[in-house]
Structure 1
Amino acid sequence: MTSAEMHVDTYLSRIGFTGASSLSLHVLRSVHTCHLLSVPFENLTVHSGGRVELDLPHLYQKIVKQRRGGFCFENNGLFSWLLSTLGFQVTLLSAQVKSQLTGFYGPPCDHLIIMVSLDGHRWLCDVGFGVPGFKAPLSLESSGPQEQGHRVYRIRKHITGMHFLEWQREENRGVDGDWAEIYKFTLEPRLMEDFAEMCLYHQSSPCSIFFCKSLCTVLTAGGRLTYIGRRLTCITFPTERTELETTTRELQDEEIPGVLAEKFGVVLNSPLIPKDETITPPAVMY
């Protein structure tokens, strides 16, 4: 399958995008948000007897035709193909995620992200990250705060050329707030095959969350829904009149397939083995 053979209308229908697909910032923002609201960030293939493959036609079948999701290499890999097919100028980038367990970063190509150049302006896109992820593209031309609902992000640039994506978690206290690093990256162009080794690592290493925990999460209109192991967590984002609300319930093994189908639209071809093991700190820290 080549770009010309991608069924763009089918893809856009899968993510709930309606309207003309013009080459504009409005469309870029819209398809980015629609993708996050429709395609889960999940690693259930790893925990149901399968292996993640980065072949784009395979990803199209999985995410678009089978209505599944994937982790960063899958969701962002396929999304970059959609953007390119729509006519956007796309560059794949390598990011290194900061571990909440160790306080260090993952290795290069730990995470796949996308840069889009449009009308002389560069935008960071990421539809494959999960809970801390941003809803709409972030400007790479600004180092100041970029608000998205109750959250605020910024891209701090270092003299070495390294960029740091930061946020203030589920709050916004302005420029002087408490900024936490999410991941770091450079603007060096990458190819899909550059991520093959780390894709295998995340499926097989006890140092990776994707190997240690079965998970599925999706953005909702007012918050986020997350399944991990044998737990289902619903987060409702704060509004002017309400605070952040989190509810969690324990699941029995026999409930999980129904929950995945009803809440996330995910139906697996093979039985899922729920997993929620402790992550082993890696020997090498970055």
Structure 2
Amino acid sequence: MDVGEYLSRIGFEPGPGPTLETLRSLHTRHLLSVPFENLTVHSGGLIRLDLLLLFNKIVKQRRGGFCYENNGLFSWLLAGLGFQVTLLSGQVKNGFTGCYGPPLDHLILMVVVEGRRWLCDVGFGSAAFSSPLSLDTADPQEQGHRAYRIREDTGTFYLEWQGDENSNEHKDWDALYKFTFEPQSLEDFSEMCVYHQSSPSSIFFCKSVCTLLKPEGRVSYVGRRLITKTFTTGATGGVMKHSRDLKDEEIPLVLQEVFGIVLPSPLTPKDEEITLPQVKY
């Protein structure tokens, strides 16, 4: 770990120790700088949960990754800066079945700062919260055009949100994922990391994806489309969405110009239907 090189990668000036303000800034800067992407899966590569390999990929090669990569490496940075970090297992709610993924489906972080617990997650794609969420309250926590809350039920915690669309209308709370406080190690996620690279029930196998938070919204690449969301505020606040189709020969240039990514091997664009999982949790 070269802390200075990592901080330079995300455009962060070292702060005065492991404070809440520093944690918030690191979290936001990471999301604004490091894409959430699975392009290795669709360019002939294999993702391995080795911190040195992840550092080389995300910091030196200026790539991104999915949850195990981004949050795994981010936890190493936080620990190196003196934060108390615990890796936790999340189970993501399936938008088609309404069921949750298996244990170790998603890697998230609990960080204790100044005696309080915070949920950090720089590896959850377009639904990501930009700043850490307090684990010590069940009250809604607003972040711009969105609101999140953490609900507890007999030892299991549910991250819920009110999403982007029609922000001037009443919206119901919907769960994103559930988790417990049982500590995990990075190696514990290895089997599920293989699953997400090879299963037709995983979005990461079925679709080539890259998304990055922007100060004004979010830009995403999926298969052969580029999708731009601009968040608006005020009484009519909401989301302005624009999508355009891409030709295969355009995609490498889009990845380079929009996301700063240059792949070492040719990408095979993919946007296939996801096979519904047979096992329900």
Give the TM-score category using the shorter length.
over 0.9
Q: Aligned residue for 2:59?
A: 64
Runs of at least 5 residues in structure 1 that lack an aligned partner in the other structure: 1-5
Instruction: Give the counterpart of 1:201 among 195, 198, 220.
Output: 195
1:178 aligns with 2:168: no
| Kept after mapping to 2: 8 A contact 1:124/1:140 | yes
Q: Aligned residue for 1:91?
A: 86
Q: Aligned residue for 1:11?
A: 6
Residues 115-264 of structure 1 correspond to what in structure 2 (within 5 A)? 115-158=110-153, 160-170=154-164, 177-240=171-234, 243-264=238-259
Structure 1 length-normalised TM: 0.95
Aligned length: 279
Tell me, in whole angstroms, the C-alpha distance in 2 between the residues paired with 1:68 and 1:107. Answer: 27
Structure 2 length-normalised TM: 0.97
Q: Over the residues paired in the alignment, what is the CA RMSD in angstroms?
A: 1.3
Query: Alpha carbons of 1:21 and 1:276: their partners in 2 closer, same or farther (altered >3 Å)?
Result: farther
Q: Aligned residue for 2:50?
A: 55
| Kept after mapping to 2: 8 A contact 1:152/1:172 | no
Q: Aligned residue for 1:3?
A: none
1:29 aligns with 2:24: yes
Task: Write out the 4+ residue segments of structure 1 that deviate beyond 6 Å after TM superposition.
Answer: none
Identity %: 64
| Kept after mapping to 1: 8 A contact 2:51/2:72 | yes
Tell me the alpha carbon deviations over residues 253-277 of structure 1, each in whole angstroms, 9 at most, x when there is no partner.
Answer: 0000000000000100000000000
| Kept after mapping to 2: 8 A contact 1:60/1:78 | yes
Tell me, in whole angstroms, the C-alpha distance in 2 between the residues paired with 1:275 and 1:29. Answer: 34
Query: Alpha carbons of 1:22 and 1:173: their partners in 2 closer, same or farther (altered >3 Å)?
Result: farther
Tell me, in whole angstroms, the C-alpha distance in 1 between the residues paired with 2:130 and 2:46. Answer: 28
Q: What SS does the corresponding residue of 2:136 show, helix, strand or coil?
A: coil
Deviation at 1:243, TM superposition (A): 3.7
